[in-house]
Structure 1
Amino acid sequence: MESQTPSDLRDQLLALLEAGDTMALSTLLGEQEPFDLAAAFYLIPVPEAQRLLELMALEDGAALLLEMEVSGQLQLIEALGPDKLASYVATMEPDDAADVVGVLDPKRADEILEQLPDQMRRAIETLLIYPEDSAGGLMDPDVVRVHDWQTVNEALNTIRNYVYRVDMDDFFSVFVLDRDNRLAGVVPNWRMLIAKPEALIREIMDTDVVAVTPETDQEEIAHLVRDHDLVTVPVVDKDNRLLGRVTVDDVVDVIQEEYEEDVGRMAGTGAEEVREISIAQSLRLRAPWLLVALSGQFVSTTIMRSQADFLRSMVQLTFFIPLIAAMAGNMGLQSSTLVIRGLATGELRLAQFWSRVAREVVTALAMGVLLAAILVTWGLAVMGDIKLGVVVAIATSAAVLLAACLGTTMPMLLKRMNVDPALATGPFLTTLNDILGIVVYLSIAYLIFR
């Protein structure tokens, strides 16, 4: 099927809705992937979106709700009655259902939970105890488990009965418990299929299991999945008893979420702006960071005003202030982006602090020498003033060096203080680089031209 833009799909859906062609609408909705539908639904007013949702099969509607970001999802589910919303939630996996119920106010959440089967309600209530961004909040309590004393044939019968009973359609590994019901190992599905029926599970299981606790942060889980090539991670309590599992599809969502958050914060906005939001929401996200930048520019302006007489006597100095600020800003942003990416992916550790700083200093020095040579030559050839070229060259080199040091140290220091290092970039770093660049430039110019 030929792909459509979200706007095209929105227009097509609204046209069919206005025409009252429910059969064509149902067909079109059924042909779309949940991700594509979600992108179109962000652009559709809530009343029309609700009408479209009600034309979809329950499973398809539930998949659409899960694909939407919280802001768009919340607007849509608040428009649904408790009975209708409960019917969607009942078709979801417990971990997904907990995410939906978790965004509701307590009274409405209780109304939904009361209408769910007892087993699912208890599973959701257990998941809601934990933070959303922890293993406990991500995990699915439906886990295929066998005992180490069972034979392969007995274990396969246990698996069949469990999968049929809970209607599980995705499991990648079988978790093995000992006689005390503690996690003892894991067996990949393929090994269960090729093992001899009379073999004991303890003979074919892997005992080196990578497990997490319910409190483990979602970023740490993502690192474990990447580093160990895992498709599912068991979640255990302090006594090593199995509570649930986090699957690779949950981890992919985590990686995307963390990426959008970091990019949004580095830009001084937020992950929400990737989606369509109101002007008021956009202002709320952007205004604080722009005010930080504005405050920094007030400082820069004050510094330049204090040197007004000197600048009037050397007007040509003002021509190069944007150049120095731009070079320092670019160098600082490059350094901080590399560090933030390294910290986020786990490739860079806090123990590597000084080695990373040293590397960036050497890089900045080399870049400074290159820029200085170009600027001195340009100052002599174009401006006809070797002293001016030297001032600009030295100031640019110094500003680039300072920016590299700040761009490297600030994210790592914030990380050490348990503050999100993405906050170190954008307005904070750019503003600080501007201030220091101007101070360095005017100081060097004053020393040489006084």
Structure 2
Amino acid sequence: MVTLSELARKLEKGEATSLSLVTQYLETIENSDDPNAPVFLALDRDRALADAQRVDDLRAEGKSPSPLAGIPISIKALFDVEGLVTTAGSTILKSAAPARQDAEIVKRLRAAGLIILGHTNMTEFAYSGLGINPHYGTPANPADPTTQSIPGGSSSGAAVSVARNMAAAAIGTDTGGSCRIPAALCGLTGFKPTASRVPLNGAYPLSKSLDSIGPIGASVECCALLDAIMAGDQPAAPDQVKPSKLKLAVLVNYVTDDVEAEVSHAFSVAIDRLADAGVTIEEIRLEDLDRLPELNARGGIVAHEALIVHQELLASSAELYDPRVSVRIEKALQQEPGEYERLLNIRQEMIKAANSATAPYDAVIFPTTPFVAPTLTELEDEQAYGRANLLALRNPTVANFLDRCAISIPIPVGGGMPVGMNLMGSHGGDRSLLGIAHSAEAILRG
């Protein structure tokens, strides 16, 4: 996979044009995307080609809007893209009118000269960590497509578009791990910013309290560059931190149950490499996290807020929902009066306690998911699906619940399916975390 910086250098040196890049990516999509399990739900071909030519003309005049101008990326299908229907991975919205304007982050990306190729596949309404979509089909995990393993979700097509070189990078959302899970399972990097960092205007909501928008790319630097643009900043690579200056906490409760041997081994190798490089590693326990299963027993905060979003659609079109999605939303109907408000208060108490416990550390680390990607066949059984979904979401959701930034980076151990390491930073410490992750990435890659 090529990085954004590598593509930017080619464009700057005249070794490639935006039009040639966009044409190349579109040809890859059109020649290799499976209509029965598509990576893209919609292409914006004509607009992409026109925008590419416009950027090339600006570059020739010395007026390139940013270093990343002309680079083609993909956008998750829950973002408004002018002229495309925002389906959010559902057939219910397929007949809706096309978006009349871009989502705010799409406007910012276009202003920087990024080229939007189209909408990527996703779990219906972003409500699963596995990436399975029964309506449009599920793209196979590129790490081993012969096994038909899941890509992870909900930003499934986003990750696969990058892993299969159908886009240089992708934009997804992360309410409980939806950028980091597919990144981890597909061998990529996925970043979840502090929720308030990037505006949500024009994104189909799941949970107003936990939704965030993040990039998926080939490296930490790729994610940092796109995050900066979406946050309204100038794109800049993250600063690396000297390993001897880093103090990381390994979370040893809640996220460590039911971890597969392959993941445990890879994570241990990663810890050893970091320690050997001079990083201070200590263990930490956040006992409050053990309360999360009980707090989410009736859907928690997400289901309550999702039910508000979906109430009318469920009343008119419940039979058109993926039942694995609707059943999770409707869990909120079981909640007692005042439960939602109580959960919000408990969340704030847990945030305060976690902030105090983790204050001495630069980041908290743990496996992004406790397993490598299972096959679609293994998840046909409803009980197996339910267990896998809970496990997929369990670890990454910690950062969303605690209102922090987090990033998943690959652990390159060779052989087997990809494994990710989650680094969780502090609220608002996004650029700092990206610098830490940049350093960790360099150490792990050797």
> TM-score with structure 2 length normalisation?
0.23
Q: Which has the higher strand share?
A: 2
Q: Which has the higher contact order (CA 8 A, sep 6+)?
A: 2
Task: Give the number of the structure whose alpha-carbon radius of gyration is greater.
Answer: 1
